[in-house]
Structure 1
């Protein structure tokens, strides 16, 4: 059974469905780092004199750090985070000494190398009152946290929500000068409508920088920023003025090509792949050889909207990563090999069930079709090639076979 912050009631399941729908509408997950959130977590550290400040979002299986100062991780499984209690109750939670709290005394974040002792977290809520994440002050020593402190932390959560709303209006990514995800999708819808109206071709390319997390972990975020700027500049230099170029996530970019069919789009993707691969990136960090994996989809009878095109290009891109990276794969080739129909981007909580139903892994379903899905888990290690996928909020469960994947992502076909 899929867990909903530790609850299994129908009411909790429907609340979780609404919460994920709000997150999907805001289109926040895996988005680029943002200096506004970075300032908030630094303020948390300075105001409360704590080691760790955090602004996070929570999807179906994990807590993802939009901004974090003082921890090395980018995300943590939902079952391993203090913040799941804040999200479940939709109320602030203060733990003055985790070693004296029965919920956390044996928690790995408390007993392990992170040695967390103090936690103060408040819900990050939309104007409609839906909790989409948390804002936290965390320390490695016990401490008190008064009413005035809590009021200040709640005000900072309000500032974070104001920042989220401001981001919804931005059209250009400040780091790469590409369109933001929301602006890209808005303009893509117009181009797709024109293509359907005038019956001309249109294709989508999605690219993801290979092993980008390793760049950040090894050389720092400044080096990662230089990589992203260089990849974006290479793409723009090789695109037409009529092409649409956007940054969808941290290291993920999308391109829409009007008047281009599937075959020519694959050629364009291969050209971009070769150009990115041929341009080492130099800086104070040394010289980095960078590659990217590409997925291609095209307008068709079943692929007639931006979410479908992106979901299908995304599935092809993960096939490229699973096949060795630094290559291009088309959705049409996957479709021919596996007989798959259209996909659409979604955000739903799910469960991977295997080992005769004795083992369950929480997941987030990121794309869905009548005959397959794309899912994200904390770690794919240990998940067999065949399992059952359940989406409790939809009353859905079916047998699956893995088509492709990487450390955190799986593309599956329904059996």
Structure 2
């Protein structure tokens, strides 16, 4: 696919691909509906996000499900635990993350499409990621995320942590985020088995 000004997946000024093409999105939406996920907060996922933030030492943690147009944080932990249900967007002061974010914001869509964990100790060190809207709009400088690979083989979404300053996540951070993702997938499967 060549970069063109009419293709919204490319930044016309730099021709860097900002949001990856996600051909699994329609099937993911169907699977998320089967699981009853991606439309409402899940208290146990909020608790999971809290634990993820504690373990990694990150100020923000999310359990994120992604459809064709948006990301939904069914689990969310923020420093003041203000968990608003509004869309995240530009604001004159530093905004708090809400439950909904556009699909072209952040790094989780990359994790879902590549189906691998992503470690960005300083997003500004990576030209491909430095131009993401979350850098300027909410000051994100560091990201650590892993995909939630369902028993069907589908990447349902991600778990991630972010910080507003560079963080040396290292190999330990990568191992932690991957093991926590596997743990949450087991929890999702238990919910499915229990009919939740």
TM-score > 0.5, shorter chain as reference:
yes
C-alpha deviations, 1:286-310, integer Å up to 9, x for none?
A: xxxxxxxxxxxxxxxxxxxxxxxxx
| Deviation by residue 1:197-255 (Cα, 9 ceiling, x = unmatched) | xxxxxxxxxxxxxxxxxxxxxxxxxxxxxxxxxxxxxxxxxxxxxxxxxxxxxxxxxxx
* 1: CA distance, partners of 2:128 / 2:72: 22
Structure 1 equivalent of residue 20 of structure 2: 6
Matched, 1:79 2:93: no
Give the match's secondary structure for 1:168: helix
Listed as ranges, the matches of 1:316-327 within 5 Å are none
Contact kept in structure 1, 2:144 and 2:173, CA below 8 Å: no
- Aligned to 2:152, the other structure's residue is in SS state coil
Q: Supply the distance in 2 between the matched residues of 1:164 and 1:144 (Cα, whole angstroms).
A: 30
CA distance in 2, matches of 1:2, 1:27: 30
1:53 counterpart SS class: strand
CA RMSD between the two structures? 2.2
Equivalent of 1:124, from 129, 148, 162? Answer: 148
Counterpart selection for 2:44 from 36, 45, 48? 36
Q: Which one has a larger percent strand, Structure 1 or Structure 2?
A: 1
Tell me by how many angstroms 1:61 deviates.
0.6
Greater Cα radius of gyration, structure 1 or 2: 1
| Shift of residue 2, structure 1, vs aligned partner | 9.2
Conserved in 2, the CA contact under 8 Å of 1:63 and 1:81?
A: no
Q: Residue in 2 aligned with 1:56?
A: 64
**Could you tell me how far 1:75 is from its partner in structure 2?**
1.0
CA–CA distance in 2 between the matches of 1:56 and 1:133? 5
CA contact (8 A) 1:40 1:156 kept: no
- Which residue number corresponds to residue 153 of structure 1? 177
Q: Distance in 1 between matches of 2:181 and 2:66?
A: 15
Task: Select the structure with the greater relative contact order (CA < 8 A; seq sep ≥ 6).
Answer: 2
Q: How many residues align?
A: 164
Pick from 81, 98, 102 the counterpart of residue 127 of structure 2. 102
Distance in structure 1 (CA, Å) of the matches to 2:31 and 2:179: 21
Q: Provide the TM-score with structure 1 as the length reference.
A: 0.37
Instruction: Give the corresponding residue for 1:25.
Output: 34
- Decide whether the 8 Å contact of 2:120 with 2:143 is kept in 1: yes
- Shift of the alpha carbon at 1:169? 4.1
How far the C-alpha of 1:42 sits from its partner, in A, is 1.1
The secondary structure found in structure 2 opposite 1:66 is strand
Give how far 1:28 is off.
Answer: 1.2
Counterpart selection for 1:140 from 164, 168, 181: 164
Q: Are residues 95 and 130 of structure 1, via their aligned partners in 2, closer, same or farther at CA, if it must alter by over 3 Å?
A: same
Distance 2:116 2:57 in 1: 23
